[in-house]
Amino acid sequence: MGAILRRPSRVATILACTCIFYFFVIFLPRYNEAPARLREYAYVKSSFDWSSLPQRHPVPKSELASLPKGKPLSLPKVQFAFKKDKSSAGKIRAQTAANRREEVKAAFLKTWSSYKEHAWMYDELTPVSGNGKNTFGGWAATLVDALDALWIMDLKDEFYEAVAAVATIDWDATDETACNFFETTIRHLGGLLSAYDLSREPVLLLKAVELGDMLYAAFDTPTRMPPFWLDFAKAKEGVLRPGTHDPSASVTSSCLEFTRLAQLTGEDKYYDAIDRITRLLDRAQNETLLPGMWPTFFDMENLNLAQDNEFTLGALADSLYELLPKMYALVGGLEPVYEKMYREAMETVAKHLLFRPMTPDQKDILFSGNVYVREDARVDLQTEGQHLGCFVGGMFGLGGKLLGIPEHVRIGEKITRGCVWAYDAMSTGIMPEIFGLIPCPTLEACAWDENQWQARGDHSLQKGFQNARDPRYLLRPEAIESVFLMYRITGNPEYQDMAWRMFTSIRAATETELAFSAIADVTAKGATEKMDSMESFWLSETLKYFYMIFSPPDVINLNEYVLNTEAHPLKRP
């Protein structure tokens, strides 16, 4: 009996060998590939629980709008059907793209390493002086904003280290008395939700819910409309009020994030909050001074969206329009109001805001300007381009594909190529923040008028430009955003070459010893003046778009994801 006990059985031997095999061949490699699934984070719950705050202006349960029900519609494919090119030319292009992708990644890593060393857990790094500064509540905006980019670039060690830091953020621990509702939503909430969609790390959703409940308090006003600033004390006291002259984008552009939060949690209150904004936009769309569009500023306290006479797709209004086709996709086409509002808005945009610049070679390009409606109802077009407005090309392309409007895809291409033309036209190879152009009388080709150019143009700039009214470059992403989207929509490799010219120009003009900096003047002929500023969107948007345009097309497939205005991919149903 004793001899039998000392001798291992054949079954036990097999089990032991199996366990050893499993540990070294299966378990250990998977642990190295996905340590986050096995790691416990030091989760720190925020010191104030916003979900426990009673609503002073509650929505009765019977009136609570719920997420659209039913099976998502079979929407048209957004992304081009890429096929692997096995020819020698195709292999060369693929290798070129891979090399370019690695150079973008190197710029990202340089920036991330400096942020980690000099500004960890601060909102921003100052890329010249090497300090940390807080601009968005002190909640590590650059870190949270860059989470999904770390994942997309396969920087998993850096990603999990960042997730561990995010797990300790206390949304109530801030030196500020208020936060910018819009910026906190798109950067922090969008960043958390996107990183969760990509990695499924539970702690990210926990932090997103904490923050979502804080931001939800912004809707607890007499009109259920959010203010520009979420004042913490007023929100806790129940005396928060919406503004009477707030930028339209800032108080209407939380739809994607709150909808995705509702989808992930099953809490309809988040969707109800933004659905009320949607209904207001729908009711007011054809009652403004320029029917079809909404003005730049809103009176949300009195629910008056028709008082202002300025209309633009640029600064202060941009993401209001951008969200329309994206929301249609995110709710699986089950809410038709977003298609309706997009179609009506773009009809007005095409009629009144788009213009063709006069160029010596009659380039077939477009820009979106600003409109002012006068007291006599005359519509005046200001033919200024904005770097912020360069997202419009991608928006037209996305809307055109989702809704089956081929003409919109063509418009999107012309606007995108216009922005690339403006990049190529400057001595640094970078578009100015704001610039004036000499327009053609219609969207059709017009002959070059040398006399008009001599009388109206800035002769230090390329022919066609009236001025570079704001010559700064703030590391903005909107131009490369549209270039990326049009590449993924059309499959045209020319867009990759455009992107590479843009990237090399930006790198040359903005690089510092530590990272990359906004510059004062893109028209400079020599060294550029660095402004010692680097907003979080440099990592979360600009470099991410440059990286993705040189990545295989299955990296954030546009048939599967919607990107919010901060380039955070949210999973489509």
Kindly report the CATH number assigned to the domain that includes residue 524: 1.50.10.10
Q: Are 295 and 306 in contact (CB under 8 A)?
A: yes
169 shares a domain with 26: no
- Residue of 267, 413, 433, 566 with catalytic role: 433
Give the residue ranges of DSSP H helices in 67-189. 88-118, 141-145, 147-152, 156-166, 181-183
Give the pLDDT confidence score for residue 486 in this predicted structure: 98
Nearest to 346 by CA among 365, 331, 366: 366
pLDDT per position as a tens digit, 454-497: 999 999 999 999 999 999 999 999 999 999 999 999 999 999 99
Give the pLDDT confidence score for residue 35 in this predicted structure: 46
pLDDT per position as a tens digit, 429-451: 999 999 999 999 999 999 999 99
Sheet with 379-382, side-by-side order of all strands: 310-312, 370-373, 379-382
517 shares a domain with 380: yes
| % residues pLDDT > 70 (the chain) | 93
146 shares a domain with 17: no
Q: Residue 96 has which token pair?
A: 């070129």
154 shares a domain with 293: yes
473 shares a domain with 527: yes
372 shares a domain with 383: yes
385 shares a domain with 243: yes
What value does the mean pLDDT take over residues 161-171?
97
The structural domain count of the chain equals 2
124 shares a domain with 16: no
5 shares a domain with 97: no
Can you give the C-alpha Rg of the chain in angstroms? 25
Contacts of 330 (CB under 8 A, 6+ apart): 256, 259, 260, 562, 570, 572, 573
Tell me if the pTM is above 0.85. Answer: yes
pLDDT per position as a tens digit, 494-521: 999 999 999 999 999 999 999 999 999 9
Active site residue 433: yes
Lowest mean pLDDT of 9-23, 95-109, 112-126, 487-501, name the range. Answer: 9-23
Cα–Cα distance list, 373 to 170, 376, 436, 469 (Å): 46, 8, 19, 22
pLDDT per position as a tens digit, 546-557: 999 999 999 999
d(CA 91, CA 163): 37
Give the pLDDT confidence score for residue 39 in this predicted structure: 53
> How confident is the prediction for the chain on average, in pLDDT?
93
Full residue range of the structural domain in which residue 8 is found:
1-33
Lowest mean pLDDT of 12-16, 122-126, 257-261, name the range. Answer: 12-16
The yes-or-no verdict on residue 112 having pLDDT over 50 is: yes
Higher-pLDDT residue of 100 and 18 is 100
Q: Are 335 and 68 in contact (CB under 8 A)?
A: yes
The yes-or-no verdict on residue 13 having pLDDT over 90 is: no
The yes-or-no verdict on residue 50 having pLDDT over 60 is: yes
22 shares a domain with 132: no
40 shares a domain with 29: no
29 shares a domain with 63: no
Give the pLDDT confidence score for residue 307 in this predicted structure: 87
Contacts of 197 (CB under 8 A, 6+ apart): 260, 561, 569, 570, 571
